[in-house]
Amino acid sequence: MIYFDNAATTYPKPPAVIAAMSKALVRYGANPGRAGHALSLETADAVFSAREKCADFFGAKVENTVFMPNCTFALNTAIKGVLTENSHAVVSDIEHNAVLRPLYALTKSMGVSFSSAETTDDDEETAANFERLINRRTKAVICTAAGNVTGKKLPLSRIAKICEHHGICFIVDAAQGAGVLPLKLGGGVNIICAAGHKGLYGPMGTGLLVTDGKYRLKTLVEGGTGSLSKELAQPEFLPDRLESGTINTAGAISLGAGVDFVNSKGLDAIRMHEHALCKRFFAGMKKLSGVTLYSESFDDSFAPVIPFNIGDLPSERASELLSDAGFALRGGFHCAFPAHRKIGTADRGAVRFSPSVFNTMSEVNSLIRTVSRIAAFS
């Protein structure tokens, strides 16, 4: 099976990540921060080392780098931690349900409202669309670094400056950006939420919330932290405040190995490789009769994600046919229906091509030939 579903989760994982997971399960078997014996301390040191790597990657302080079960959990923590009763938020018109569903829940429970800013091919216009929606009740802007359906990159630096000017929190959903795009705290970016299992090449069941510490986040979960055990109140300090219960120790340690892998390859090299694969795929698909693409070209304004459809086939059926031919791509609505509505695929979704650092040009060429054969009979 040739795997092109890396926007869902990267596969395969680097050998070093697999080795780190195995070592963690064999060697670091104690609960970190829950005892004074040598094995617990050794495990805590390994987790702290991974936390340091993740903090450095996003320009955060190590204590403000919180391990989460996934990016969705991180986004829920940030969104529900920042927004208050009857407050307002601004999002983009291509957001994932990991942003939209927590906001929708808050409209029912806390009277929160939110507005969607139109994204365009003009970054200045897109940023202006965000600013236009900010009002006196706006507490946060929450937006994706890059759309998970179209790959469209948002002008984060421009939006961050707007948020800084208005004194509101800027939360970045880095699920599709971390490990591909240079993302750092500062300059108006207050919180970054990232998936560990995508562009950071860590295991599933890992995520990160990194914060500049400016906003005190309310907790979704309270419980044992290994600190201040005599107190009933949840600790105020990070990361303990947001890490109740035993963390995914093996996941955190192997996520640190994933960050090491990305750093060893280099963001620029990863981006250039995946971009080249996408350009080849787009050019080849554009020549095929019966294939629909949803942008005029593939350029630097996109992360390595390309949606397409084949003839009149439902996207799920096209994905099944590709799977039968030995290719893994996801069809459907990708938990981001507004993005599909925007590009005109609200009726059947789209098939999503998303390569990784491990894919090759020959694999892309083979996929193009297979799509051509399917299109000829659809």
- What is the domain partition of the chain in residue ranges? 15-264, 266-376
pLDDT at 377: 86
Report residue 19 as tokens.
């080795």
SS3 284: helix
The answer to whether 152 and 94 have CB atoms below 8 angstroms apart is yes
Cβ neighbourhood burial of 226 (10 Å; 0-12, 13-18, 19+): middle
pLDDT at 162: 98
DSSP 8-state class, residue 3: E
pLDDT at 378: 76
CA angle 88, 89, 93 (to 5 degrees): 135
Length of the chain counted residue by residue? 378
pLDDT at 340: 98
The answer to whether 126 and 118 have CB atoms below 8 angstroms apart is yes
pLDDT at 308: 98
pLDDT at 351: 98
Q: Which residue, 211, 170, 177, is CA-closest to 195?
A: 177
The phi and psi torsions of 302 (rounded to 5 degrees) equal: -120, 145
Distance CA 345, CA 299 (A): 21
- Domain 266-376 is of which CATH architecture? Alpha-Beta Complex (3.90)
Q: pLDDT under 70 in the chain at which residues?
A: none
DSSP 8-state class, residue 198: S
Model pLDDT for residues 64-121, shown as the tens digit of each residue: 999 999 999 999 999 999 999 999 999 999 999 999 999 999 999 999 999 999 999 9
Report residue 44 as tokens.
């805590």
Q: Do domains 15-264 and 266-376 have the same CATH topology?
A: no
Q: Which fold has domain 15-264?
A: Aspartate Aminotransferase; domain 2 (3.40.640)
Amino acid at residue number 157: S
> Which residues contact residue 153 at a Cβ distance below 8 angstroms, ignoring those fewer than 6 apart?
145, 146, 177, 181, 301, 302, 303
pLDDT at 224: 96
Q: Which residue, 173, 32, 166, is CA-closest to 91?
A: 173
